[in-house]
Amino acid sequence: MKKNALALSLTVVTLLFSVALSGAVTPVNTPAIKPLAISSTQLVKEPATYLKKSVEFTGTLAGFSGLGLDYPTVKRDVKDYVTLLVYRADVPSAYEIPLSELKIFVNRKLLKDFKRIGQGDTVKVTGTVISTALGDAWLEATKITVLNSVQKEDVESEDEE
């Protein structure tokens, strides 16, 4: 009886050891998936093409909103998330029209390192398309980079004069 138990134990240990060495349990040197470089317009025209894929695009920040945060299939808590809107790139820049078909969810923690980020800034957005609900693109941002910041005037209080 002891020989059978010992043989079984050795077999299990050998099996576990060989699986661990083969990398089946813990992946080693897993390459990071490089996001697909696309345009925001391309993303809203073909959202299903990019579903569950990592994408990256550049746009001009229109502002922040709560747009779509309460939609049931992709619901996000407003305390933790904000929706970033970019301007449409397919109209002349004289017309400032937000691309509302693209809902970019940004965890507020991603924005905590920015002293100033606002309307008119050129941003690079990296994220994963999490849904195509209502035929729109819903993106969970994983990285926001400000490429060009529009000069903002400091507001001085009257007491400082």
Among 21-25, 94-98, 153-157, which stretch is predicted with the lowest mean pLDDT?
21-25
Q: 29-55 pLDDT, tens per residue? A: 556 789 999 999 999 999 999 999 999
Q: 2-19 pLDDT, tens per residue? A: 555 444 444 444 444 443
Helix (H) / strand (E) element for 108: namely helix 108-111
What pLDDT, on a 0 to 100 scale, did the predictor assign at position 29?
A: 54
What pLDDT, on a 0 to 100 scale, did the predictor assign at position 3?
A: 54
Residue ranges per structural domain of the chain: 1-29, 36-148
What pLDDT, on a 0 to 100 scale, did the predictor assign at position 156?
A: 46
Highest mean pLDDT among 13-27, 125-139, 145-159: 125-139
How far is it, in rounded angstroms, from Cα 80 to Cα 108? 6
0.85 surpassed by pTM: no
Q: Torsion over CA of 132, 137, 141 and 144, rounded to 10 degrees?
A: 170
How far is it, in rounded angstroms, from Cα 120 to Cα 108? 19
What pLDDT, on a 0 to 100 scale, did the predictor assign at position 1?
A: 56
What pLDDT, on a 0 to 100 scale, did the predictor assign at position 2?
A: 55
Q: 97-143 pLDDT, tens per residue? A: 999 999 999 999 998 888 888 999 999 999 999 999 999 999 999 99
CA distances, 5 to each of 1, 2, 56, 93 (Å): 6, 5, 56, 76
Task: Say if residue 96's pLDDT is above 60.
Answer: yes
How far is it, in rounded angstroms, from Cα 43 to Cα 55? 9
Q: 50-76 pLDDT, tens per residue? A: 999 999 999 999 999 999 999 999 999
Give the mean model confidence (pLDDT) for residues 140-147.
96
How far is it, in rounded angstroms, from Cα 119 to Cα 151? 11
Q: Which CATH number fits domain 36-148: 3.30.1280.10, 2.40.50.140, 3.20.20.10, 3.30.70.2860?
A: 2.40.50.140
